[in-house]
Amino acid sequence: MPDAGEPVVVETAPAKLNLDLLVTARRADGHHDLDSLVVFCELADRLELRPAESFSLVLEGPTAAGIPAGPDNLVLRAARLLAETVGVAGGAAIRLVKEIPVAAGLGGGSADAAAALRGLRRLWGLAIDDERLRELGLGLGADLPVCLYGRPARMRGIGERLDPVRGLPDLPLLLVNPGRPLPTGPVFRGLTGPFRAADRPPLRAGPSLVQLAVWLAESRNDLEPPARRLEPEIGRVLEDLAALSGCLVARMSGSGATCFGLFGDRGELQTAALLLRRKHPDWWIRPTVARGGP
Ligand code: ATP
């Protein structure tokens, strides 16, 4: 029996990182088709869920101040959607500890909503399968399906088409955000096209870290130009990341403004973090590792 104060279900909500992101089409409904290699970081939010008669949410953690505490929080929206879909009458007392910066291109809200769906499925003992959960999640946001999957994947369409990417190495990454939120909508609206099918070669199976870096260097994030127009500091972040010793690739994630530097090993990564923090004490700078896998 758990103690009264013990969490019953704990879920981590890892930050999502787009190693590249090609915008391949604009649909008639205004949505965009993407082709993106997505990985998940050790940097994560944490959700604790306990059974309760109604839903409640307590927010904690260093980045909690930037998000809604009420019904608009994606955690509560996901919880209500699941309860309505499966016909659960009860609720849950949820505690969310935020570590992921908000409106930063790291999919924090989607990661939290995905963790809520996974956690409630466990808490309520639901028989709903992964595919149905992903369909449900897509209604809340394009990044939900990949965040539910939670492992390296090639994401296509508006986010509904996922192919597992196996055999990636663990990736030492330096995440850097210049400290200003950048909403996703205006970045997409700044895209001018023309859009075309992804033109990068396929990634070889089981690449080494250096092989992956060489492949990535040939690719890009198509949201970088419109994001840089809205937040010119992104250009400075990318320049300073690329200049750090051992940085193999520097790029923006998602719709920004967080950028990453990929490093060859964790020692170089820690040194780079120290140097950059000394130069930019006002930036959010976080070394992390994105998990590869079998
Ligand atoms: P994406 O990469 O999916 O565009 P992002 O990392 O740029 O996402 P989020 O951190 O997910 O952005 O925040 C997007 C918006 O969602 C913000 O305006 C925020 O207030 C709102 N939001 C609602 N619930 C949450 C939550 N649990 N965590 C973060 N943001 C939330």
Span from the CA of 255 to the centroid of ligand 1 (angstroms): 11
59-91 confidence digits (pLDDT tens): 999 999 989 999 999 999 999 999 999 999 989
Answer yes or no: are the C-beta atoms of 47 and 115 closer than 8 Å. yes
pLDDT band at 180 (very low <50, low <70, confident <90, very high): confident
Is pTM beyond 0.75? Reply is yes
As a CATH number, domain 166-290 is 3.30.70.890
> Is position 265 annotated as part of the catalytic site?
no
The residue behind tokens 């993407």 is: 34
d(CA 153, CA 86): 28
As a CATH number, domain 9-163 is 3.30.230.10
What lies within 8 Å, CB to CB, of 293 at 6+ separation is 151, 152, 166, 167, 168
Confidence check: pLDDT of 172 > 50: yes
Structure confidence at residue 78 (pLDDT): 98
Catalytic one among 16, 35, 222, 240?
16
109-158 confidence digits (pLDDT tens): 999 999 999 999 999 999 999 999 999 999 999 999 999 999 999 999 99
Three-class secondary structure of residue 47 per DSSP: strand
Mean pLDDT throughout 161-170? 97
Structure confidence at residue 41 (pLDDT): 98
Question: In the chain, what are the domain boundaries?
Answer: 9-163, 166-290
29-45 confidence digits (pLDDT tens): 889 999 999 999 999 99
Cα atoms found within 13 Å of the Cα of residue 67, Cβ hemisphere only: 31
Confidence check: pLDDT of 2 > 50: no
**Within this chain, domains 9-163 and 166-290 share the same CATH topology:** no
238-284 confidence digits (pLDDT tens): 999 999 999 999 999 999 999 999 999 999 999 999 999 999 999 99
pLDDT band at 193 (very low <50, low <70, confident <90, very high): confident
pLDDT band at 191 (very low <50, low <70, confident <90, very high): very high
What are phi and psi for residue 175, nearest 5 degrees? -95, 135
Structure confidence at residue 1 (pLDDT): 43
- Ligand 1 binding pocket (C-beta < 6 A) is 67-68, 73-75, 102-110, 112, 143, 184, 254-255
Ligand 1 atom with the shortest distance to the CA of 77: 24
Structure confidence at residue 26 (pLDDT): 93
